[in-house]
Copies of this chain bind each other. A is one copy, B any other.
Amino acid sequence: MPERLGPPREKPLFSRVALVGLGLIGSSIARAVRHLNLAGTIVAIDQDEGVVARVKELGLAEEATTDAAAGVADADLVVICVPVGAYGAVAAAISKSLKPGAIISDVGSVKASVIAQVQPHLPQGVFFVPAHPVAGTEHSGPDAGFSTLFFNRWCILTPPEGTPDEAVERVREFWSAMGSNVEVMTAQHHDLVLAITSHVPHLIAYNIVGTAADLETVTQSEVIKFSAGGFRDFTRIAASDPTMWRDVFLHNREAVLEMLGRLNEDIALLARAIRWGEGDKLFELFTRTRAIRRGIISVGQETPEPDFGRRRDGQ
């Protein structure tokens, strides 16, 4: 494994960390926190009894429960890791049992909506530091997580105005310990940036895979067989968790529709260039886009290996 986490801390960062939602992200945090000794005790909370049972089998936490209110009691850090449509319900369920001085954080892919849902429920003396680790895979559930998921990835913090610096610093330290680079920005800017770097790419991928499946002139079996021409790249993110992504689009509506409008303008120009045989316009764009990939590779956010380094034998 080239991705290496540091050695375990001698002293945990937090004495009690509660994770609400043990899917890909929550279970990856549990594994990293355990591996790095970032918490004295990990409490796993999930409304799905099957997930709680699996968390116990996998030994991901010292305690595991479906009772969110009981689970967060005495926690120094609570990390909400559920689909962003469920934040209001989670916040309402835990608000009365939060310990004074506790830090609440999360991992949601949208931030303005998350703040609007959570803030009203929080008692005085509890600090909300919203976070978004820009990391993931197309797999879901507690078995899909792994401790190095956040290594060399960015984590964006969007503390609302008035959040104490100490709380922000503690959350920064938590993510840095898991190998992430941390950046702070406003929730509004986050939602715009992620609309183009994550949300709209997912929407477009879902769309092309759906359209391809519905064509009457090309069979689904042909789409599958000949997918190595480029299409299969899109199927990866179009295989991401449906609940999570439904909620992302419903909760970042304006930015997603704005970015989609921009894309539509640009694709209309490309279509016109194709129709009228304007090869120079196509060539100019296709040359320019290569530079962006080189940039991503040069900052270590992508492998330089051809074809993502993937195996060609389907293994």
Report A219-250 CB contacts with B as 1/0, cut-off 8 Å.
01011111111111111111110110111011
Q: What count of chain A residues pass the 8 Å CB interface test?
A: 118
Number of this chain's copies in the assembly equals 2
Q: Which of chain B's residues have a CB closer than 8 A to the CB of A288? A: 210, 213
Q: Which of chain B's residues have a CB closer than 8 A to the CB of A303? A: 310-311, 314-315
Q: Which of chain B's residues have a CB closer than 8 A to the CB of A223? A: 193, 196-197, 292
Q: Which of chain B's residues have a CB closer than 8 A to the CB of A302? A: 227-228, 232, 235, 310, 314
A224 with B192: CB separation less than 8 A: no
Q: Quick check: is A139 within 8 A (CB to CB) of the other chain?
A: yes
20 A–B contacts from the bound complex (CB under 8 Å):
A154-B226, A196-B215, A196-B218, A197-B230, A199-B230, A201-B230, A204-B208, A210-B266, A224-B292, A230-B237, A232-B301, A236-B293, A236-B307, A238-B286, A238-B289, A242-B286, A246-B282, A246-B286, A297-B314, A304-B315
Q: Which of chain B's residues have a CB closer than 8 A to the CB of A50? A: none
Q: Which residues 256-315 in A have Cβ within 8 Å of B in the complex?
A: 256-257, 259-260, 262-264, 266-267, 270-271, 274-275, 277, 279, 282-283, 285-290, 292-297, 299-315
Q: Quick check: is A13 within 8 A (CB to CB) of the other chain?
A: no
Nearest CB of B to A226, in Å: 4
* Minimum-distance CB pairs A-B, first 3: A198-B229, A300-B314, A242-B286
Q: Which residues 187-217 in A have Cβ within 8 Å of B in the complex?
A: 192-194, 196-215, 217
Q: Quick check: is A151 within 8 A (CB to CB) of the other chain?
A: yes
Q: Quick check: is A66 within 8 A (CB to CB) of the other chain?
A: no
A226 with B212: CB separation less than 8 A: no
- Of all chain B residues, the one with the shortest Cβ separation from A223 is B197
Pick from B220, B290, B293, B301: contact of A292, CB below 8 A. Answer: B220
Interface residues of A (CB under 8 A from B): 2-3, 85, 109, 134-139, 144, 148-149, 151-154, 156, 183, 192-194, 196-215, 217-218, 220, 222-240, 242-243, 245-247, 249-250, 253, 256-257, 259-260, 262-264, 266-267, 270-271, 274-275, 277, 279, 282-283, 285-290, 292-297, 299-315
Q: Which of chain B's residues have a CB closer than 8 A to the CB of A203? A: 267, 270
